[in-house]
Amino acid sequence: MRGLFEQSAEIRMIACELPTQTFAILRLALAILHRVTNGPPNEAAWQALWRDRRLPLDDLTDYLDTFRDRFDLFHPRHPFYQVADLRAEKDNTYGLERLIADVPNGMPFLTTRAGPGMESISPAEAARWLVHCQAYDPGGIKTGAVGDIRVKKGKGYSIGVGTLGNLGGVYLDGNTLRETLLLNLLPFGGNRQRADDRDLPVWEREPQTAAEEPDETRGPYGLLSLYTWQSRRIRLFGDADGVTGAMIAIGDRLDWQNHHLLEPMSVWSRSAPREREQKLAPIYLPRPHDHTRTLWRGLQTLLPPPAPSTGEAPQRWSPLVLQWLARLTRDAVIGQDFQARPRAVSVTYGTQQAVIDEVFSDTLTMNVLLLLEDSPLRTTAVDATADAEAAVQALRRLATNLIRAAGGSDDSGDADRAAERAYAVLDRAFRDWLAHLGPDSEPATERTAWQHRVRRAVKEVGDELVDAASPAAWVGRTRTDRNGRDIHYSSFQAETWFRRDLAKALTLTTDTDHQEVRA
């Protein structure tokens, strides 16, 4: 940890086996930095850190030296992120597959880690997976730990996934690790949260036991306890030469309801079911990322929303780290030419949340002006995503109409495949276009240029679909729609409708539409 801070100005990023591991370790480092900087207590203190070329290394070194033994992975009384005497009733031993997230349960042949790679790992790697396990461990039944009154017949029944498993995680990625740490280091105070004397990282508190910590002392009372939350009770087996296994039991449960003013690194949305159930409003819950959509397609949900004109609570809540950067931009602490890089991280769990199905990670590069609610550039970018969606919908209808012309079924999957092809082409185009936007950009000109790029890309895919249509589709056939009308579908008619729909979706390219002549 000392080396991480000492070299933060030279290190580009924390690069780990999984992006979720990077996110979990970043939060661990932030907990230390928050503690060392005493918040920081306000924006002025944060600005002083930002102007300095290096982090407060003397203070960081003193702090880490003070709690050196609490970061010892094999300490006999309080090993790092573990319970020293954790054991099962039958003193079972366990392998590393419970600790290492990228080893599929029951399918070891679908991994690059096998044989000797699963027999022992270095203490350094074990420490990384240990932090990851506390953050993203799947739910399901765990080993019952002696001393935990929740255990029944040797089993610890699920308390849900690890601390971060429910989040739609978002953090700001800087040009160096130092920038990344500071951009995500939100000052205490203000309307976000107040410093609480009970808020301490886990290594400054009494060592955990196998039992769940009582409600009255558990918290979270602030970012320090939240960033180091112990959702599992863990014990590693091994020594300095290698770690050979791990026992993992249930730890402290965490209800995320209405923690949107505390947790700064997640997207949030109102939960209508909970509001009806509890007869309370608003109730916000973390909103995991949609793993089927790239980040730019949900750009509007990522950006700080404008305040509702009616005074009603907003339907969504953007990550506080993005709201903080927006404030720094408004206060001219960060220049208008600064490029923000929000990075999204989340996990999809399967089979009653007992296994990790998929790890999601995506990032965008955008000018900080897009974070300001009254910025024309922001409006342009959000409208641009809607342009792409509308154009792809026109392409989906083309694919469906071609299938109907050939006598196929609407649910053949052709429309989905066509949309996937279009999004794949538009993905790089949008990222490049978005990164190009800046304080000197003219919104109307940029929007028109984007619509032309979308039109070219989607039309090319559409032309390929028409060219690949079967002879039966050229002849076509008549079908009765849901209103009882007879409609003749053919590839020629489908292409005509497609051009019309594309023109409606991309109104700024209508002149191009009149000039085009298809060979």
Q: Which residue has the tokens 């003013």?
A: 261
Residues 30 and 56 in one domain: yes
Query: For the chain, what is the domain count?
Result: 2
Residues 227 and 296 in one domain: yes
Q: Give the residue ranges of DSSP H helices in 189-311.
A: 215-218, 223-227, 272-278, 299-302
pLDDT at 190 (0 to 100): 46
Write out the E strands in 287-391. 316-317, 339-340, 342-350, 355-363, 366-367
Residues 101 and 221 in one domain: yes
Residue 191 has pLDDT above 50, yes or no: no
pLDDT at 421 (0 to 100): 96
Residues 334 and 446 in one domain: no
Q: What is the mean pLDDT of residues 162-166?
A: 96
Lowest mean pLDDT among 21-25, 87-91, 282-286, 487-491: 87-91
Range of the domain at 126: 2-371
Domain boundary among 308, 336, 371: 371
CATH of the domain at 468: 1.10.132.100
CA–CA gap between residue 207 and residue 213 (Å, rounded): 11
Residues 58 and 182 in one domain: yes
Domain boundary among 342, 371, 400: 371
pLDDT at 101 (0 to 100): 86
Average pLDDT of every residue of the chain: 91
Residues 328 and 424 in one domain: no
Domain boundary among 371, 403, 435: 371
> For residue 513, what pLDDT band results from cuts at 50, 70 and 90?
low
pLDDT at 254 (0 to 100): 94
477-480 and 366-367 beta bridge pairing: unpaired
Residues 408 and 504 in one domain: yes
Based on the number of CB atoms within 10 Å of its own CB, is 106 exposed (0-12), middle (13-18) or buried (19 or more)? exposed
Percent of the chain with pLDDT over 70: 94
Residues 415 and 335 in one domain: no
Residues 274 and 404 in one domain: no
Question: pLDDT by residue (tens digit) across 233-268?
Answer: 999 999 999 999 999 999 999 999 999 999 999 999
Structure tokens of 245?
């296994």
Residues 88 and 134 in one domain: yes
Residues 392 and 319 in one domain: no
Q: Are 325 and 183 in contact (CB under 8 A)?
A: yes
pLDDT at 500 (0 to 100): 96
